[in-house]
C-alpha cells in the first residue's frame, strides 16, 4: 500500500488495532488490509514488589494504556497527516495468568497479582492432586484457592474473576469474556467443547461446599470464546477511557482478549499441530502444539490451548533476560563513568556478539538468573547469582555466554521432558522476543538448548501486539470456511521470509556441559534463598 492508500484506509476504518500489556512495555500496533503494521506506539512500565506481591497499579494500567494509544495516534498523524478516529476492529492481550478479583460494584478487591508471583504453592499442589492435571502457581485458580486457604476476607465479595487482558476488555466493552488461550491459563479447558472442564469445575465446587461460598466457580469466571467470535463493542465510556481526547468513536467491534502466549503463537504462525514457538524476554516460554495428549501429568509442563482451542504443551520459566539486562545496565554505567558515549542498542549488540567468541561451555562459569522464584527448579524466591571457581576462565565472552545460557537453563529442563520422555516431534520452532533481537546470537543459543533448528521471521519483532491485531482482523473478516491456521498461512504469512539456524554441534556440546553444572549447582541457589533475606 502506498501512503495515500494507507491514509484512505485509516480514515475509512479499514484497519485493526492490537494492544498488548507486556511485562515492561505496553505496545499498540495498527495494521492495514495487508496485515502489515502501518503505525505503532508504546509506553514503558515496570512491575512493583509491594507487601510480598508482584503487581502493577490500576493507575499504571490506565495511564500506560492511554500513553501507548496516544503515542500511536501521534505516529498516525505524523506519518499520514490524519487523525485516528476509528478502526475496523480492536484486540487486547496481556501477560497471562494472575489474579484480578472485582466486587459487584466493579471495585478491585486486592491489588492485581501477576504471573510472577510464586506464593500459591500450597494451592497449586492440592489442586494438581485433586484434578490430576498440572495447576501452575501462576494460574488464576491457584491464586483463588490460595486466597481461600489463607482465609482472605475479600473472597466472599468476589463477583468476577479475570486476568489483566480480560479486565481491560471488560472495562472498555462491558463484556466479561476471555479468548480460550487466555482462559486456559485460568482453569483447565476441555478442547472437545472449547470451554472450561465441567468435571473439574464440579470438583472445585465440591471442595468449597463446606465453605458456604455465595458463588459457584462458573459464576465468577469469564465466558470462553474462540478466535473469530465477536466479543463486544467499544462503549462510549470505553472509548473515552482509551482516548481521553474524545476523538475515538464508540461502537468498534472487539475480538476476544488473549494472553501473550496465544498472541505469540499467532505472530509466529505457530497454531497448527507439530509447530511451536519460543518467546524469550522478561520470562521465557515454549509452546508446542500437540498431535496427541501427553502420557501423564508433569509438574513442569502446563497444558494450555491455541486461540482456537487446540491443546498445547507449555514450558514456562519465570526468569529470562531480567538479570542479564541488569548486568548490561551496569556496563552502561561503566561506559558513562569513563565518558564514553555508547548507545544502549550498540552495547547490547556488542556484548551479545561477544558471547559467540567464548568457550563452548562458558569457561566453567555458572549463573542463576532468578530475579523471582522459579517453579521448574522448585525455588519459591529468586536470588540472582554468578559463581566461578578459581580455575574458571573468567573472560567477558564467557561471562556473556554463561548469562545467555542461564537465561534458558530452567526452560531446558522442561523441554527435555517433551523431547526425551514424551518423544514429541515438531517441524519448526520460531523464536520471538528481545532475546532474539541481536542477529544470530539468541538463535544460536536457543538452537543449542533445544537441539532443533530455530527460525526467526522478519515480522517476529512486532510481537504480541501484532498478534492480537491479526486476531482482531481475523474476527472482522472471518468466513465460516476459513480456520485460523489457513487464514494465517494464506493471508498473512504467504511469502514471509525467515532466517533459520540449525544447531551447531560445538554449541550443543557446550550447552550440555553447562546444564550439567547448572543442575549440580542448584543447591547454591537454594542456600542463597535461605541465607540471604
DSSP assignments along 476-503, one per residue: HH--TT--HHHHIIIIISTT--EEEEPP
C-alpha closest to that of 318 among 278, 260, 369 = 369
Q: What angle do CA 136, 194, 209 make, to 5 degrees?
A: 60
* pLDDT at position 17: 98
Q: If 0-12 CB within 10 Å is exposed, 13-18 middle and 19+ buried, where does residue 416 land?
A: middle
Q: What is the pTM of this model?
A: 0.83
Question: Binning pLDDT at 50, 70 and 90, where does residue 460 land?
Answer: low
Question: Binning pLDDT at 50, 70 and 90, where does residue 3 land?
Answer: confident
User: Could you identify the residue written with the cell 492511554?
Assistant: 66
DSSP code string of 35-51: S-EEEEEEEE---EEET
Compute the CA torsion angle 56, 61, 63, 68 (nearest 10 deg).
120
189 has a pLDDT exceeding 70: yes
* pLDDT at position 461: 58
- Rounded percentage of the chain residues whose pLDDT exceeds 70: 99
Please provide the size of the chain in residues.
533
1 has a pLDDT exceeding 80: no
C-alpha closest to that of 482 among 494, 473, 471, 490 = 490
199 has a pLDDT exceeding 90: yes
Question: Contact, 51 vs 488, CB < 8 A?
Answer: no
pLDDT in tens, 336-392: 999 999 999 999 999 999 999 999 999 999 999 999 999 899 998 999 999 999 999
Cell, residue 415: 523441554
* pLDDT at position 118: 84
CB under 8 Å to 481, separation ≥6 — which residues?
none
Question: Binning pLDDT at 50, 70 and 90, where does residue 102 land?
Answer: very high
* pLDDT at position 44: 96
* pLDDT at position 409: 97
C-alpha closest to that of 162 among 102, 208, 89 = 102
Query: Among 48-62, 118-132, 281-295, 298-312, which stretch is predicted with the lowest mean pLDDT?
Result: 281-295
Question: Binning pLDDT at 50, 70 and 90, where does residue 228 land?
Answer: very high
Compute the CA torsion angle 281, 283, 288, 289 (nearest 10 deg).
-90
Beta-carbon neighbour count of residue 458 at 10 Å? 10
C-alpha closest to that of 146 among 160, 164, 128 = 128
DSSP lists the bridge partners of residue 366 as 387
- The CA-to-CA distance between both ends of the chain, in Å, stands at 57
Going by their DSSP bridges, the two strands 25-31 and 275-280 should be labelled as unpaired
Enumerate the domain spans of the chain: 322-407+506-531
Question: Contact, 325 vs 348, CB < 8 A?
Answer: no
- Rounded percentage of the chain residues whose pLDDT exceeds 90: 83
* pLDDT at position 496: 80
For residues 256 and 182, give the distance between their C-alpha atoms in angstroms, rounded to a whole number.
Answer: 9
Sign of CA dihedral 218, 221, 222, 228: negative
pLDDT greater at residue 117 or residue 170: 170
pLDDT greater at residue 96 or residue 66: 66
403 has a pLDDT exceeding 90: yes
DSSP lists the bridge partners of residue 162 as 100
Please state, in angstroms and as integers, the Cα–Cα distance from residue 298 to each residue in 26, 110, 266, 285, 376, following that order.
33, 31, 26, 16, 10
Angle, in degrees to the nearest 10, between helices 522-531 and 505-520: 40
Beta-carbon neighbour count of residue 376 at 10 Å? 21
> Which uninterrupted H or E stretch holds 505?
helix 505-520
458 has a pLDDT exceeding 70: yes
130 has a pLDDT exceeding 90: yes
For residues 64 and 62, give the distance between their C-alpha atoms in angstroms, rounded to a whole number.
Answer: 5
187's torsion region: left (phi>0), alpha (psi -120 to 50) or beta? beta
184 has a pLDDT exceeding 70: yes
Question: Contact, 389 vs 366, CB < 8 A?
Answer: no
* pLDDT at position 160: 97
For residues 210 and 173, give the distance between their C-alpha atoms in angstroms, rounded to a whole number.
Answer: 36
Question: Binning pLDDT at 50, 70 and 90, where does residue 416 land?
Answer: very high
Q: Tell me the helices (H) and strands (E) count for the chain, helix number first.
A: 19, 22
Count of alpha carbons within 13 angstroms of residue 327, beta-carbon side: 22
DSSP code string of 427-453: SEEEEESGGG-STTHHHHHHHHHHTS-
36 alpha-carbon distance from chain centroid: 22
Amino acid at each position: 500500500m502506498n501512503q495515500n492508500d494507507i491514509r484512505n484506509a485509516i480514515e475509512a476504518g479499514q484497519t485493526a488495532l492490537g494492544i498488548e500489556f507486556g511485562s515492561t512495555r505496553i505496545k499498540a500496533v495498527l495494521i492495514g488490509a495487508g496485515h502489515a503494521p502501518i503505525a505503532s506506539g508504546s509506553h514503558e512500565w515496570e512491575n512493583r514488589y509491594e507487601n510480598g506481591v508482584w503487581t502493577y497499579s490500576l493507575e499504571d494500567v490506565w495511564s500506560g494504556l492511554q500513553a501507548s494509544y496516544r503515542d500511536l495516534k501521534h505516529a498516525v498523524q505524523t506519518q499520514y497527516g490524519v487523525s485516528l478516529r476509528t478502526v475496523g476492529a480492536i484486540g487486547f492481550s496481556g501477560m497471562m495468568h494472575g489474579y484480578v478479583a472485582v466486587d459487584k460494584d466493579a471495585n478491585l478487591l486486592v491489588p492485581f497479582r501477576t504471573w510472577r508471583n510464586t506464593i500459591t504453592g500450597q494451592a497449586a499442589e492440592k489442586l494438581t492432586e485433586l484434578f490430576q492435571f498440572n495447576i501452575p502457581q501462576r494460574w488464576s485458580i491457584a491464586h483463588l484457592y490460595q486466597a481461600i486457604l489463607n482465609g482472605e476476607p475479600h473472597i466472599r465479595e468476589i463477583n468476577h474473576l479475570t486476568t489483566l487482558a480480560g479486565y481491560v476488555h471488560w472495562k472498555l466493552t462491558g463484556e466479561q469474556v476471555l479468548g480460550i488461550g487466555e482462559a486456559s491459563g485460568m482453569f483447565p479447558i476441555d478442547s472437545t467443547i472449547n470451554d472450561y472442564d465441567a468435571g473439574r469445575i464440579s470438583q472445585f465446587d465440591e471442595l468449597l461446599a463446606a465453605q458456604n461460598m455465595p458463588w459457584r466457580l462458573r459464576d465468577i469466571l469469564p465466558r470462553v470464546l474462540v478466535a473469530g467470535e465477536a466479543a463486544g463493542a467499544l462503549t462510549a465510556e470505553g472509548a473515552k477511557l482509551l482516548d481521553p481526547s474524545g476523538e475515538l468513536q464508540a461502537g468498534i467491534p472487539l475480538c476476544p482478549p488473549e494472553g501473550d502466549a496465544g498472541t505469540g503463537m499467532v505472530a509466529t504462525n505457530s497454531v497448527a499441530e507439530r509447530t511451536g514457538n519460543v518467546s524469550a524476554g522478561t520470562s521465557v516460554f515454549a509452546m508446542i502444539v500437540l498431535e496427541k495428549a501427553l502420557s501423564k501429568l508433569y509438574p513442569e509442563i502446563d497444558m494450555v490451548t491455541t486461540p482456537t482451542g487446540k491443546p498445547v504443551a507449555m514450558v514456562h520459566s519465570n526468569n529470562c533476560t531480567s538479570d542479564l539486562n541488569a548486568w548490561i545496565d551496569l556496563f552502561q554505567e561503566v561506559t558513562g563513568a569513563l565518558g564514553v558515549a555508547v548507545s544502549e542498542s550498540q552495547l547490547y549488540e556488542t556484548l551479545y556478539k561477544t558471547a559467540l567468541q567464548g568457550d563452548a561451555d562458558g569457561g566453567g562459569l555458572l549463573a542463576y538468573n532468578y530475579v523471582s522464584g522459579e517453579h521448574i527448579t522448585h525455588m519459591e524466591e529468586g536470588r540472582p547469582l554468578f559463581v566461578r571457581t578459581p580455575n574458571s576462565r573468567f573472560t567477558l565472552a564467557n561471562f556473556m555466554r554463561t548469562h545467555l545460557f542461564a537465561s534458558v537453563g530452567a526452560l531446558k529442563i522442561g523441554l527435555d521432558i517433551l523431547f526425551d520422555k514424551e518423544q514429541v516431534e515438531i517441524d519448526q520452532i520460531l523464536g520471538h522476543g528481545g532475546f532474539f533481537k541481536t542477529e544470530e546470537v539468541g538463535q544460536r543459543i536457543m538452537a543449542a538448548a533445544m537441539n532443533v533448528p530455530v527460525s526467526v521471521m522478519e515480522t517476529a519483532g512486532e510481537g504480541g501486539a501484532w498478534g492480537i491485531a491479526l486476531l482482531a482482523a481475523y474476527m472482522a473478516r472471518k468466513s465460516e470456511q476459513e480456520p485460523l491456521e489457513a487464514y494465517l498461512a494464506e493471508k498473512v504469512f504467504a511469502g514471509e521470509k525467515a532466517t533459520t539456524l540449525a544447531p551447531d554441534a560445538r554449541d550443543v556440546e557446550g550447552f550440555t556441559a553447562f546444564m550439567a553444572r547448572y543442575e549440580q549447582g542448584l543447591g547454591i541457589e537454594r542456600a542463597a534463598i535461605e541465607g540471604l533475606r
